[in-house]
Amino acid sequence: MNTRNLALSGLFVAIMLILGYLEKVLSLGWGYGIKLGLSNCVLLLCLYWFGVGNSLLLMVAKVFLAALLFGGLNAITLSLSLGGGILSMAGMILLVFVVKDVSPVGAGMVGGVLHNVGQLLVAILLHRFPVLYTYMALLVVIGAVMGAITGSLVLRLKHFLPYERRQRFGFAGKKEAPRTS
């Protein structure tokens, strides 16, 4: 990892924390565990920018720092966020690096859905939350809608990626020349 990426990683973690805090303060949660999940958009962008390893590190850093800063440094909250984060990252990694030929919107949708699924699985398996299929269906729909929103944000932000990354994921325009900086 070069210095530039290291600095960017720190910046991304900070952005995720701020976005997470804003969502909490503005109370974009309407109960039932529904929220926008804007930090998912940053993580998806990180996947395109840095690749798998660094993005996973950033996810773990975000989970622990958010717990430390905004309260929730307890086993239940941590296990829920980690469960959601890991499953959602796994899904997005699968789509972006293995399946390929999926746009950020598709990857974001899967990320959003799997985040909710992961949290529910942890809640059911570890914390004996009752199994409610209608509630799961609601969470999957919400995850898909929110994921599509965050995914389309990444679609708007993809021009900030370094040229070789854009080329790799097919985001680069045909006539564009490599940036010489």
Partner 1 sequence: MKRRDFWVFTAIMGLVLVLLILGRALKPAPVEKARPTLSVTLAGEEVSGQPEAANSYLRIKQGEAYYHLVPLNKPGEIVIHQEHGQENVIHIDKDSVVMHAANCPNHDCVRMGRMTLQNIETRVNQRWITCLPHQLSLELIPGDEAQRLMEGL
Residues that bind partner 1 (CB under 8 A): 29-33, 71-72, 74, 76-77, 80, 95, 99, 101-103, 105-106, 109-110, 113, 123, 127-138, 140-141, 144
**Toward partner 1, which CB reaches closer, 1 or 73?**
73
Q: Smallest gap, in angstroms, from Cβ of residue 65 to partner 1?
A: 16
CA 153/CA 114 separation, integer angstroms: 18
- ∠ CA 118-121-123, nearest 5°, is 110
CA 93/CA 80 separation, integer angstroms: 20
Q: Smallest gap, in angstroms, from Cβ of residue 26 to partner 1?
A: 14
CA 24/CA 37 separation, integer angstroms: 10
**Toward partner 1, which CB reaches closer, 127 or 168?**
127
Tokens encoding 27: 């109370």
**Toward partner 1, which CB reaches closer, 113 or 153?**
113
**Toward partner 1, which CB reaches closer, 3 or 74?**
74
Q: Smallest gap, in angstroms, from Cβ of residue 11 to partner 1?
A: 27
Are the C-beta atoms of residues 151 and 41 closer than 8 Å to each other? yes
